[in-house]
Structure 1
């Protein structure tokens, strides 16, 4: 990779370097998309370094400020120029004879599509230049070196510019940048900075502000929410109104009365485009020398430099905060979906558990009621119960079982509410249900220890049936 010297000194440096790649393998070596992408990334890196852009600046507003093609377009230029040298070579040379042989094989369909000659023809077709190949085949004519180089450059420039314009127009946030710089050539302020290095820093700052994408955010100076942070800071921010007024006073002193009136009669968007070096109706009517003085005035004044510096730092800060906020939002969005999914699964489990539990408690209530009614029947079995204390104890046990069922139903309602907020309460729900089940189990064992006569034995068998029903319900919950 090699560099050629530029006329633009940056920040006290004597020279800066505009990176161009010199390829020794563009003809015989095939570069895949990954390798070309790495070269494109390197070119964008050095372009940002030259223009003092930050790493988050848009790609579409990066290399276009210097009028650079893509790496793919540069490689294609070398290929087509090499094809011109082959066509202009003498017929007595070996490489010309080999080229004519390969060309004839391609036309007859005998040559594979992996040859250098076929790749050169495909490159010509890409830029609609096959007519020159047809002219060479029919008349053995190819333009001279100088004219051929000009034709190739114009064809590739048209192709690259159309592709760049299409890419920029697809991004609404670069609408202001496209008004400022609408063609794939050197930025006007870059060319202006080459005439006098003293204005380079301020002019590059203007280019940087014009290349910033339109983003909404909150101003860190006045805490005002805005849809366009750059326009807000240059034209509307109340915190720097004194600096802004001094900038406008200097512009009024520089321009004539008519030009000043026309400048301030524009809407905010057009005025901002004018201040950032764009071309609009006002600039077209303005004298070129006056426009240069206006740009240099914005670039050299310390007060105006302060407002532009604040705007640049603010836009970078907003961009960083926006990117960080976007990442946090996406992460929170993913976590929210996970929580919703877990909550949904937990709700289904708890609903199934509550359904089985309600059936279980209904059975307990019905069976307890039947036992209670049977115990009060004036039958000979009830008369044979000798001790009222033992009968009372049995009734208290049954009432306690019913109270346990009510507590479990209340616990089920609380559990359902907990499940709407977080899935972590599911473990608590399960442990609590398990404790209630163990408590009922222990109570049943205590009832077993009561000495029973034949009537008590029948009641015990009924309680044992209830316990078996509870076990089936617990097994359903586990499943």
Structure 2
């Protein structure tokens, strides 16, 4: 992305149509990369990789460029041009004229905590001099805005609930993190993720047991009679892996909570486990669910 958007900090007055086209292209690539269906909700596909939207990425580049301008020598050409444009912006605002360009774009990004840097510079000549500190502030502010919007989007539809309960931070989802650590299990992790994002609110018919269900994922993992023997082995391995009390608490959880746990959610019980122990549980779950999928589709 940095190469594809080289110089994007100088783009300005991008129309909603142009931005939407770039966002659509990114969503298409992200879904193809992860092997998702076209109808997979974009809010899940993008956030499972923990990547920002195109608009957020461009915002980051613009504010980092602003930091470079503020840190540059006052006698440099770029600093003189910046001060000239800044003066023009202030003058035109006082005359109630329409502004365009780099500075106006920064103001329109709705990141007041970052734009305040310009205000402080105008009023007091104060700005963050450290490149690393400014970069940290920019990334944190945009990440916070991105997560806030993501949480809002997930709350708009009940079909996102399973994903929202499993993936709680805007960062690469646990399945991809583990896949990088252990590529030999990547396909099994990907299968868990696929089941998590699969639309389950339509009534479907199970060919294996001849029953209808409104949640095919829950039906497959917990209910389908054709998988009873394999499921019993799976649950027995959970009992052998975890302390007795923990395995009882997990297996006696509400069905939806149990499904989320088996797909990668860190439930109340697993919250107390360190990362290595949690990884062991996910490895067991991904291996057994992969075996169930083979049997289910054979």
The TM-score, its normalising length taken from structure 1, stands at 0.57
Matches within 5 A, 1:36-435: 36-109=19-92, 112-123=98-109, 125-143=110-128, 144-217=130-203, 218-301=205-288, 304-308=289-293
Checking the alignment, whether the CA contact within 8 Å between 1:202 and 1:299 is kept in structure 2 is yes
Q: Distance in 1 between matches of 2:6 and 2:19?
A: 12
Distance change (3 Å), C-alpha of 1:307 and 1:65? same
Partner of 1:62, secondary structure, is helix
CA distance in 2, matches of 1:79, 1:226: 49
Aligned-pair CA distance for 1:258: 2.1
Aligned residue for 1:225, secondary structure, equals strand
Please provide the CA RMSD for this pair: 2.2
Unaligned runs of 5+ in 1: 4-20, 315-479
Report the Cα offset of residue 67 of structure 1.
0.7
Question: Do the aligned residues in 2 keep the contact of 1:58 with 1:212 (CA within 8 Å)?
Answer: no
Deviations 1:127-170 (A, max 9, x none): 53232112211232221211111111011111111111111100
Asked if the contact 2:227–2:292 (Cα under 8 Å) also holds between the matched residues in 1, the reply is: yes
Once residues 105 and 190 of structure 2 are traced to their aligned partners in structure 1, the CA distance between those partners, rounded to angstroms, is 40
Distance in 1, matches of 2:228 and 2:88, equals: 74
C-alpha displacement at 1:205, in angstroms?
0.9
Q: Looking at both structures, which has the greater relative contact order when contacts are Cα pairs under 8 Å and sequence separation is at least 6?
A: 2
User: In structure 2, do the counterparts of structure 1 residues 272 and 87 end up closer, same or farther at CA, with 3 Å as the change threshold?
Assistant: same
Q: Deviations over 1:266-286 (max 9, x none)?
A: 111111111011122122133
What are the ranges of 5 or more consecutive residues in structure 2 without an aligned counterpart?
none
Q: Distance in 2 between matches of 1:118 and 1:309?
A: 56
Q: Deviations over 1:148-196 (max 9, x none)?
A: 1111101111111111111110011111110001221111121122111
C-alpha displacement at 1:310, in angstroms?
Answer: 6.7
- Number of matched pairs: 293
Q: Within 2, Cα distance between the matches of 1:120 and 1:56?
A: 34
Residues 202 and 298 in structure 1, CA contact (< 8 A), matched pair in contact too: no
CA deviation string 1:284-325 (max 9, x = no partner): 133432221111122335xx31324577x79xxxxxxxxxxx
Shift of 1:39: 1.8
CA contact (8 A) 2:31 2:37 kept: yes
- CA distance in 1 between counterparts of 2:248 and 2:198 reads 28
Determine if contact 1:177/1:212 at 8 Å carries over to the other structure.
Answer: no
CA distance in 1 between partners of 2:240 and 2:228 (Å): 18
Per-residue deviation, residues 17-71 of structure 1 (Å, max 9, x unmatched): xxxx423344145432222222212222222233221222111110100111110
1:22 match: 5
Q: Which runs of at least 4 in structure 1 moved beyond 6 Å after TM superposition? A: none
- For the 8 Å contact 1:174–1:214, the answer to whether it is kept is no
d(CA) in 1 for partners of 2:287, 2:108: 50
For 1:137 and 1:2, how far apart are their aligned partners in 2? Answer: 30
C-alpha separation between the residues in 2 aligned to 1:99 and 1:93? Answer: 10
| Structure 2: distance between partners of 1:212 and 1:62 | 11
Q: Deviations over 1:391-444 (max 9, x none)?
A: xxxxxxxxxxxxxxxxxxxxxxxxxxxxxxxxxxxxxxxxxxxxxxxxxxxxxx
TM-score, length-scaled by structure 2 = 0.90
Secondary structure of 2:264 counterpart: coil
